[in-house]
Amino acid sequence: MTTYRGRFAPSPTGRLHLGSLVAALGSYLDARRHQGQWLIRIEDLDTARVLPGATNELISTLARLGLHSDEPILLQSQRISAYQAALDHLDAAGTLYRCSCSRADTAAGPYTGRCRNGPTGAGPYSLRLRLDPDGECGFFDRLQGAQRHTHRALGDPILRRRDGQIAYQLAVVVDDAAQGITDVVRGADLLPATGWQVKIAAALGLPPVRYAHLPVVLDANGSKLSKSRSAAALAELPPAQALMGGLALLRQNPPPQLGKASVEEILAWAVTHWRPEALEGVAEIHPSQCDLGL
């Protein structure tokens, strides 16, 4: 019986970019290195941002790279009743409250708990999880080390938005548990949200997962790479070249002649040689400093 189940959970709001290539490949290699399973899940709840056709394009780009889900791909848009059941459970336990604050009201920093004793304005309301204001959240990240935040610094997370949409923070926790995920390997842009996810899982009585946050891929100007031209071009690259670039970004030092091998051979080499330690404590990757051959 395998004790490792990993996943890659892209949002279909654009094409696969270098940052998501790194997350897909890193999560896949880590799962296979542990003889584990690897699942793809499409996080398409934010319907206003989902691009038509993007889900199919993501799945086919991953398939060209040899990255196939071990189980049928889950779409979050089909899972609303499971998220509602989790909200009902938390509501019955008295840990949810209605909040009338808008995004602009809370933009200045972590949410201060203004509506904890009842909404301070008219609806519509979001639903927040009540965290003990004096508590703390700690977890260990395999790559980024020990993490600790006070609940005050985190602020109470929104689980359902004012427009009624289920928040990613809740959906990701419910789905990871429903899919039996043991290990989350993803980009460090999600590290700040992880404390919330740890708390939401605990409030729902769900088992904790292990985390490994991969460095964020930045572009030459130091911003997240997703919008750059090289990101858009990834889908058009020969798959072997894209995989070699992804391995270079992950600091796996693939031998150059591997670039002439098939997708399957490149992945087999990468599983055997997977060294996540190369990324320990690395928070950012600057593609200009890697020999990507792109």
Say whether residue 190 binds ligand GLU (CB under 6 A).
yes
Gap between the Cα atoms of 160 and 8, Å rounded: 23
3-class DSSP state of 186 = strand
> Which range of residues in 4-12, 64-72, 207-215, 273-281 is near ligand GLU by CB under 6 A?
4-12
Instruction: Reduce the secondary structure of 181-235 to three states and give it as a string.
Output: CCEEEEEHHHHHHHHHHHHHHHHCCCCCCEEEEECEEECCCCCEHHHCHHHHHHH
Gap between the Cα atoms of 8 and 16, Å rounded: 12
> Which range of residues in 3-11, 55-63, 145-153, 244-252 is near ligand GLU by CB under 6 A?
3-11
Helix then strand count (H, E) for the chain reads 9, 12
> Which range of residues in 9-17, 63-71, 158-166, 209-217 is near ligand GLU by CB under 6 A?
9-17
Alpha helices in 93-144 (DSSP H): none
Say whether residue 9 binds ligand GLU (CB under 6 A).
yes
> Which range of residues in 8-16, 30-38, 112-120, 255-263 is near ligand GLU by CB under 6 A?
8-16
Task: Give 9 or 250: the residue with its C-beta nearer to ligand GLU.
Answer: 9
Gap between the Cα atoms of 186 and 32, Å rounded: 15
Smallest distance from ligand GLU to CB 43, Å: 4
* Residue whose entry in the numeric block shows the structure tokens 């039996």: 180
Contacts (CB under 6 A) with ligand GLU, residues 42-61: 43
Say whether residue 195 binds ligand GLU (CB under 6 A).
no
Of 86, 107, 109, 81, residue with least CA distance to 96: 86
Task: Give 196 or 274: the residue with its C-beta nearer to ligand GLU.
Answer: 196
Say whether residue 11 binds ligand GLU (CB under 6 A).
yes
Single out the residue of 45, 87, 127, 172 in contact with ligand GLU (rule: CB under 6 A): 172
Task: Give 156 or 176: the residue with its C-beta nearer to ligand GLU.
Answer: 176
Tokens of 238: 């020969």
Tokens of 24: 């897909």
Residues that bind ligand GLU (CB under 6 A): 9-11, 43, 172, 186, 190
